[in-house]
Amino acid sequence: MSGQKYKRTNFEEDDNVSNGGTPPGVTYDPSIAFKAGASFWQKRTILEKLLLSLSAVLAVVVIILGIVVGTQKPQRLVVPPAEKKQKTNLCTTLPCVTVASAVLNSMDPTADPCDDFYQYACGGWTKAHPIPSGQSRWGTFSVMDQQNQVVIKNELASLGAKPLLSLLKTLGGWQVTPGTGSWDIANFDIQSLIEMVHSYGMGPLFYMGVGEDEKDTEHNILQFDESGLGLARDQYLNKTIEEDKTLSGYLKYMTDIGVLLGGSYNETKEQMYKVIEFEQKLANITTPMEDRRDDEKLYHKITVRELQNLAPFLDWLHYINSQLNVTTPCVVVDEDEKILTYAPEYLEKLTDLLTDLQKTEEDKIILNNYLIWNVVRPLVAYLSKPFQNARKEFLEILTGVSGEEELWRYCTSDTNSVLGFAVGAMFVRKTFHGESKNKAEEMISDIKQAFKKNLANITWMDEETKRAAADKADAVVDMIGFPPYILNTTALNEKYDKLFINESEYFQNNIRVLKFSIKKNLDKLRKPPERQSWSMTPATVNAYYTPTRNEIVFPAGILQAPFFDQKYPKSLNYGGMGVVMGHELTHGFDDQGREYDKYGVLRPWWNQASIEKFKERSQCVVDQYSNYKINGDHIKGKQTLGENIADNGGLKAAFHSWILHQDPQQCHYAREQFLLNDLFATFHAYSQWISENGQEPSLPGVNLTDKQLFFLAFAQVWCSNSKPESVLMGLLTDPHSPSRYRVIGPLSNSKDFATEFHCKSDSYMNPAKKCEVW
């Protein structure tokens, strides 16, 4: 859980089978229609009988849905008569009937949408979807992810402690475990041990990697940041190991693992206790996440020589070149090499801490144990059942997870995490088709147009900055579905060239993957940044924005129901996937993204007066979300600011683009309301579609207008259940707000939502004070 600087923003926090089609085996037999004396039914062909039967079934389903809705407790929602008249044409296709049922089953119609829209939209879903065994959180993203796993599965023993013990021997042994050889304190050398540990991809004490220079995006550069905590920073501070449930559970876990590796219980516990005390000291010098959101302040370009003067606890030139010796061709740096550090104050404090901790033999033992533990901790997941059981016991304390995931799902996820683009090639061939990509591109274009129209009406921003913001929106690169190269066998083989996999060596395979990943990263140092490279694999149910490339990425895994389906009403697609698109676009203009220009360069490009106004409006969002509580704990409004801005702006972008698609009168209404009421841009996009294509048929049994259905679709994306421990961990470490407030927050800022659901002024969902940035 390091404080490593964010380089991209994800839609979902850091956790489908195709619809319909012609049934197989349908044949046409013309002889049936001409048999003498045949009845009406007998005269029908098999295909005709199938269609007639399907129509009858759909009619019955529509009637049943009507009865179900009619027998439900009356909704408190009042729909104006004029809007009811719009709902004359029912959509009775199979996708419409299916999604209507899903929408209704997810709702709690007894809840007042103006009192608690999350309960209104998701009450039925949360009741019907208890958290499965082996999970800490369960929501629509989880369901989609498991559906994608099934697709991958259909296309697609351990040696105990021995593998890890062998690895520890190569690191000089571990005092805790006699089986790893005789560790000699006289030979302890922090320099060589850090170099060896980091060569396996572990990052205790600090992080080093290669990435784009934010102020010179044509070049990659070495980057250094703070790192080294096994838990969230706040879980260490002002707590005692004996009295705090998490820290005492952490100590037990560390002790159990040490004993499984051959250590004695009492001695292992004593030594691990001191490791936790050391991590507490690290936590005290680590910067809180909420104070690391200004990329301009984090950016420090210095030379290796200056780094040496800043933090002399290490021979940095030797360390860097020891890591780079894996590069092809071999790269060597000298003292004049420019590097980036995002945590100079941390490195200075770390120097003081390590200087104090190398004065006695006991101190050196603590440092050795800490560094080796940071090798052991991530590798426990690849060991045998006793290690897995110890890990699960601790995870239950940390996240509330009990039970275990099905083995095939674990293996599918693990394979996908390592060979995700190879697995992704199978996934997209099975599920993702060209028309989905085209429709998604059309929606993104609509969202961008709505966002730019919104800029013209923002009163707090100067005209020059507005024009630059519009240029940046136009320059955003859209990446949809998957990288094309994965469907080319030769190109795919090249990606995984040099990665050796042996089906009988699970632990060693994962070590090889770590080494492979390090080499891939460090190999970028003397090469220009690769544009349109993918950080997420095709089957991922998520999306992200990369500020240094000004790119938004939507993997095939998320371009499915309930977010998106070509056969769904546009209100559902814009309320679901449209908001995801608007969210990622808005990240280019949140408190971090706004610091990067249209080329992805970190530089001032805003008028100072506009910056001050932006900060004022952002503070409103910080204060709003900081007042929200879940399980008695407050959301960190500053830590979640970027995602909250994106949630609000994304909904607005999608709403506006929908409005622009409605009939001319609706377009006039939208523009007028937009000037007066700050309409959501996503609604604008959907309305644009309606204006060009006419009103859509309504869903059977769903007594909501198109606009109300848009907001309902947005909310139902976030239906979920979470264990209290998982919620707390999210509050401590996640830049996203909890699901409930990803619904409540944006909707309570929307005058359009309040208008469509007729919420009285000062009701919970229609407070007098509303926050708006974009």
Q: Please confirm, yes or no, whether 590 is among the known catalytic residues.
A: no
Nearest to 714 by CA among 545, 540, 581, 538: 581
Whether residue 430 contacts residue 151, with contact meaning beta carbons closer than 8 Å, is answered with yes
What is the reported pLDDT for 344?
Answer: 97
How far is CA 145 from each of CA 142, 430, 717, rounded to the nearest angstrom? 5, 15, 13
Average pLDDT on 725-752 reads 94
Rounded Cα gap, residues 674 and 656, in angstroms: 8
Q: How confident is residue 126, by pLDDT bands cut at 50, 70 and 90?
A: confident
Between the two ends of the chain, the Cα-to-Cα distance in Å is 32
Top mean-pLDDT range of 33-42, 214-223, 384-393, 564-573:
214-223
Distance CA 493, CA 658 (A): 42
Catalytic residue among 590, 647, 678, 756: 647
pLDDT of residue 378: 93
Nearest-angstrom CA–CA distance, 718 and 663: 30
Task: Give the integer Cα–Cα distance in Å for 213 and 195.
Answer: 24
CA-nearest of 455, 454, 453 to 468 is: 455
Q: Who contacts 692 (Cβ-Cβ below 8 Å, separation ≥6)?
A: 661
- Altogether, the residues listed in the chain come to a count of 774
What residue type is assigned to position 186 of the chain? Answer: A
pLDDT at 154: 60
Antiparallel, parallel or unpaired: β 338-341 and 216-226: parallel
Q: Cα separation of 744 and 572, whole Å?
A: 19
Ramachandran region of residue 205, left (φ > 0), alpha (ψ -120 to 50) or beta?
left
DSSP letter (8 states) at residue 17? P
Q: So what's the pLDDT on residue 682?
A: 54
Beta-sheet pairing, 9-10 with 544-546? antiparallel
The pair phi, psi for residue 720, each rounded to 5°, is: -165, 165
Looking at the predicted structure, is the pLDDT value of residue 615 above 50?
yes
Segment among 325-334, 393-402, 600-609, 619-628 with least mean pLDDT: 393-402
Tell me, what's the pLDDT at 563?
86
Residue ranges of domains in the chain, CATH in brackets: 16-156+406-483+532-774 (3.40.390.10), 162-383 (1.10.1380.10)
Alpha-carbon gap, residue 737 to 367, rounded angstroms: 36
Distances (CA, A) of 367 to 272, 281, 414, 425: 11, 12, 31, 44
Distance CA 557, CA 41 (A): 43
* Residue 270 neighbours by CB under 8 Å, 6+ apart: none
Q: Which residues contact 675 (CB under 8 A, 6 or more apart)?
A: 457
pLDDT at residue number 521: 96
| pLDDT for the residue numbered 158 | 66
**Cα–Cα dist 647/643, whole Å:** 6
3-state SS class at 212: strand
**pLDDT for residue 249:** 96
Q: What is the largest CA-CA distance in the chain?
A: 105
- pLDDT over threshold 90, residue 226: yes
The one-character DSSP state at 220 is: E
Q: Record the tokens describing residue 87, joined without a space.
A: 């709902």
Residues 411-418: contacts with CB under 8 Å, at least 24 apart: 412/149, 412/152, 412/153, 412/156, 413/149, 415/152, 415/156, 416/149, 416/152, 416/537, 416/539, 418/509, 418/510, 418/513
What is the dihedral sign for C-alpha 190, 192, 193, 194? positive
Question: What pLDDT was estimated at residue 686?
Answer: 58
Alpha-carbon distance of 102 to 119, in angstroms, equals 16
Cα–Cα dist 735/625, whole Å: 12
Residue 488 has pLDDT above 70, yes or no: yes
Whether residue 719 contacts residue 143, with contact meaning beta carbons closer than 8 Å, is answered with no
Active-site hit among 108, 584, 725, 752: 584
CA-to-CA dists, residue 704 to 82, 225, 627, 712, angstroms? 13, 51, 31, 9
Lowest mean pLDDT among 145-154, 426-435, 593-602, 698-707: 145-154
Hey, what amino acid is at 495?
Answer: K
Query: pLDDT tens digits, residue range 353-366?
Result: 999 887 788 999 99
Look at residues 564, 562, 586 and name the one whose alpha carbon lies nearest to residue 774.
586
DSSP secondary structure code for residue 44 in this structure: S
Q: Tell me which of 297-306, 570-579, 663-672, 691-700 is least confident.
A: 663-672
Return the pLDDT at 186.
Answer: 81
261 pLDDT band, cuts 50/70/90, is very high
User: Please, where are the H alpha helices in 380-505?
Assistant: 385-399, 407-418, 420-431, 434-456, 463-475, 489-495
pLDDT of residue 21: 32
| Single pTM value for the model | 0.80
Identify the band that residue 350 occupies on the pLDDT scale cut at 50, 70 and 90.
Answer: very high
pLDDT score for 57: 39
Looking at the chain, the whole-number percentage of residues with pLDDT higher than 70 is 81
Which residues, in sequence order, are CB contacts of 20 under 8 Å at separation 6+?
Answer: 94, 95, 567
Assess whether 212 carries a catalytic annotation.
no
Which residues are CB-neighbours of 719 under 8 A, at least 6 positions away? 106, 121, 122, 125, 126, 129, 139, 140, 739
Rounded to the nearest 10°, the torsion over CA 427, 431, 433, 438 is -90
Average pLDDT over residues 210-231: 96
Contacts of 256 (CB under 8 A, 6+ apart): 390, 393
b/e code 352-368 from CB counts within 10 Å (16+ = b) = ebbeebeeeeeebbbbb
